[in-house]
Amino acid sequence: MTIENSGTDGTFLAVVLAAGQGTRMRSTTPKVLHEIAGRSMLAHVMVTARAAGAARTVVVTSPAQDDVRAHVEHTDPDATTVIQHEQHGTAHAVLSAAAEIEAAKLPVLVLYGDTPLVRAVTLSAAVDALEDRTSVVVVGFEAEDPTDYGRLLVHGDTDRSGHTSLERIVEHADATAAERAVTFCNSGIVGLRASAALPLLKAVTNDNAKGEYYLTDVVEGARTNGDRAAVVAAQEDAVRGVNSRAQLAEVEAIWQARRRVEVMESGVTMLAPDTVTLAFDTKIASDVVIEPNVYFAPGVTVEAGARLRAFSYFEAAHIGRDAIVGPYARLRPETRLGEKVRVGNFVEIKKADVASGAKVNHLSYIGDADVGTEANIGAGTITCNYDGFAKHKTTIGPRAFIGSNSALVAPVTIGEDGYVGSGSVVTKNVSAGALAVTRAPQVEKAGWVEKFRTLMSRKAARRV
């Protein structure tokens, strides 16, 4: 669940259109479930709508989209879904939520599930623009290439709050050459005043090039009633829709660029920001330094002063204050590093608590483990946590020293200040303060090399 159950206080009803096939994605996953920064596009839109003050969200789905409906429920327990049985256009899609619109008695804001970067301030501005004589508001943008977008035909006057008035929206397919030259376009986000919403939607016909019920026709409808339609402007990047994998990547890049700036503004240093990948929920405290090519999957928190060295990969892990991690470290889910922990190169840690001051400096695997404060884990140490059937725990006490190239066969406990000799395979618990060594004793044969060489050269001479 990504949205807390926060009741239904709010200023508008969000209707999110998600019934489209998304064929250009060439995917078995519905388009709106494709992810940006580790969260579905649909969840981005739902979260933003709630942040902008949506009382409730209704998502319009197609009959086959059981997975989308389950995802909506998981994302926001207050949200509901409706089914649009056949797709006859955007106005038709919104009308599949007619019962919810009727019951809500709130302004309606139509959003697209495949337009995930829209900002909450833009949505609140759109809702605020709806007033007595303004029945419709459209979020518009200047398009670099307006092809395929609906064109916003505006006229000179503005409403009391200074919003541009909109005369009509003409879809690309229906536009004249002169209208196609217009670059001010419809983002698709449309707001409707509460009492005007259903009458305007019901008045839309399908008399156009595509034979669809265009939501954009509510603009003319409002004007026919003597009401106004207003425009709120947004940046093109914020209203970019996703129809293909290439556009998914573009939108991801825009999201990443935006969030990196926010993270740096909050006091984090990034040596090569363009190479750092953040997740939607990454939390990084101030004075953290992030070296190049660090990847954050969802669920990561980093406390102040930590240094995240190059080429490290983190997922659902917590990194404590002043810890140093990497280069080339991998922290997997349920890893918690305490203060000043040091994790070095080619170390993988999974589901482990590594207490303050402990060091895991090189080439180790620590999984299903507790590592005590100030413990030192030597190079190449492996916690053998899996016996082919179940996972078992390794507990390493405070200040314990694990010699290099040791295998700790779990379940096993190394007591406080315990010492494991290098190269040991530890299968029994080690008492506090004790030394455990399991390797074969070293033997030495004086003068062996000379005898060996003589023997071997004689053999070689006989072969010729």
List the catalytic residues: 362
- Site stretch for ligand UD1 (CB under 6 A), options 90-98, 302-310, 404-412, 414-422: 90-98
Least distance to ligand UD1, CB of residue 113, Å:
6
Q: Which of residues 140-169 bind ligand UD1 (CB under 6 A)?
A: 149-150, 169
**Measured between alpha carbons, how far apart are the two ends of the chain, in Å?**
78
Examine residue 119 and tell whether it contacts ligand UD1 (CB under 6 A): no
Examine residue 75 and tell whether it contacts ligand UD1 (CB under 6 A): no
Least distance to ligand UD1, CB of residue 80, Å:
15
Q: In terms of CB distance, is 87 or 431 closer to ligand UD1? A: 87
CA–CA distance, 383 with 403 (Å, rounded to integer): 13
- Give residue for tokens 């190239």: 405
- Site stretch for ligand UD1 (CB under 6 A), options 7-15, 186-194, 262-270, 276-284: 186-194
45 phi/psi in degrees, rounded to 5: -65, -45
Q: In terms of CB distance, is 215 or 317 closer to ligand UD1? A: 215
Give 59's strand partners: 16, 81
Three-state SS string over 52-118 comes to CCEEEEEEEECCCCHHHHHHHHHHCCCCEEEECCCCCCHHHHHHCCHHHHHHHCCCEEEEECCCCCC
Examine residue 60 and tell whether it contacts ligand UD1 (CB under 6 A): yes
CA–CA distance, 198 with 219 (Å, rounded to integer): 13
Q: In terms of CB distance, is 218 or 382 closer to ligand UD1? A: 218
Least distance to ligand UD1, CB of residue 86, Å:
8
Examine residue 71 and tell whether it contacts ligand UD1 (CB under 6 A): no
Q: In terms of CB distance, is 140 or 320 closer to ligand UD1? A: 140
Examine residue 88 and tell whether it contacts ligand UD1 (CB under 6 A): yes
Q: x/- contact string, 363-402, with ligand UD1 (CB under 6 A)?
A: ----------------------------------------
- Look at phi and psi of residue 305 and say left if phi exceeds 0, alpha if psi is from -120 to 50, else beta: left
Residue 82 · residue 63 · CB < 8 Å:
no
- Name the token pair of 55: 């009382």
- Give residue for tokens 């949200």: 79
Q: CB atoms < 10 A from the CB of 162, how many?
A: 8
- Site stretch for ligand UD1 (CB under 6 A), options 182-190, 299-307, 336-344, 427-435: 182-190
CA–CA distance, 199 with 94 (Å, rounded to integer): 12
Interacting residue ranges for ligand UD1, rule: CB under 6 A: 17-20, 60, 84, 87-90, 92-93, 112-114, 149-150, 169, 171, 185-188, 214-216, 241
